[in-house]
């Protein structure tokens, strides 16, 4: 009788230990599944960020292209108007009247100085738009590289979710059978 009681007690403890291990196994697999789902969500966010970087780069590229064209056009018209005004003033410098020639030379110097200042401003703006264009191209390139890398990470993470889900289901089924 004592043996039977001791045997039943040992058997009960063993069954309780096995059941506790099954519960721990299910909990562990549930945690792994949750971690895998969180990683998928994180990678999807990174993909969305890469796509937004690409679209932002494209928008920046378009705007900098149009600015570049506008500044080049402005530079061309500025040079054209300067040359036209310069011809008029140079005609005055060939005048026989001494005062008129002196006045024309001063006017020509002023015209040239104004032209240089305006041209410098236009060239600075043109350089800024070129820099913006280069930054846009870099942004697009970086976004595409990140997108490619993150798509592979997404495939891996989704696979890990499936594996974790199957293991969790198997552990739950094993626990239900007992």
Distance, CA of 18 to CA of 141 (rounded, Å): 55
Give tens-digit pLDDT for 69-94: 998 899 999 999 999 988 888 888 88
pLDDT at 1: 58
pLDDT at 146: 92
The alpha carbon dihedral of 79, 81, 84, 90 has a sign of: negative
- Maximum distance among all alpha carbons in the chain? 143
State the chain's mean pLDDT as an integer: 85
Q: Whole-model pTM? A: 0.66
160: tokens are 């890990």
**At residue 8, does pLDDT exceed 60?**
no
Distance, CA of 18 to CA of 160 (rounded, Å): 27
57: tokens are 């780069």
pLDDT at 168: 84
Give tens-digit pLDDT for 95-129: 778 888 888 888 889 999 999 999 999 999 989 99
List of domains in the chain: 2-177 (1.10.287.620)
């Amino acid at each position: 009788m004592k043996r039977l009681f001791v045997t039943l007690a040992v058997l009960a403890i063993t069954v309780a230990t096995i059941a506790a291990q099954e519960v721990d196994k299910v909990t562990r697999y549930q945690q792994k599944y949750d971690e895998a789902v969180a990683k998928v969500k994180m990678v999807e966010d990174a993909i969305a960020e890469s796509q937004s970087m690409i679209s932002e780069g494209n928008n920046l590229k378009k705007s900098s292209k149009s600015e570049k064209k506008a500044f080049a056009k402005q530079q061309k018209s500025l040079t054209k108007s300067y040359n036209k005004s310069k011809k008029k003033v140079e005609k005055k410098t060939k005048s026989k009247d001494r005062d008129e020639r002196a006045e024309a030379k001063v006017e020509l110097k002023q015209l040239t100085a104004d032209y240089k200042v305006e041209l410098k401003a236009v060239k600075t703006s043109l350089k800024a738009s070129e820099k913006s264009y280069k930054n846009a191209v870099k942004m697009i390139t970086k976004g595409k590289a990140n997108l490619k890398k993150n798509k592979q990470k997404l495939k891996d993470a989704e696979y890990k979710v499936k594996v974790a889900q199957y293991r969790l289901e198997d552990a739950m089924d094993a626990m239900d059978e007992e």
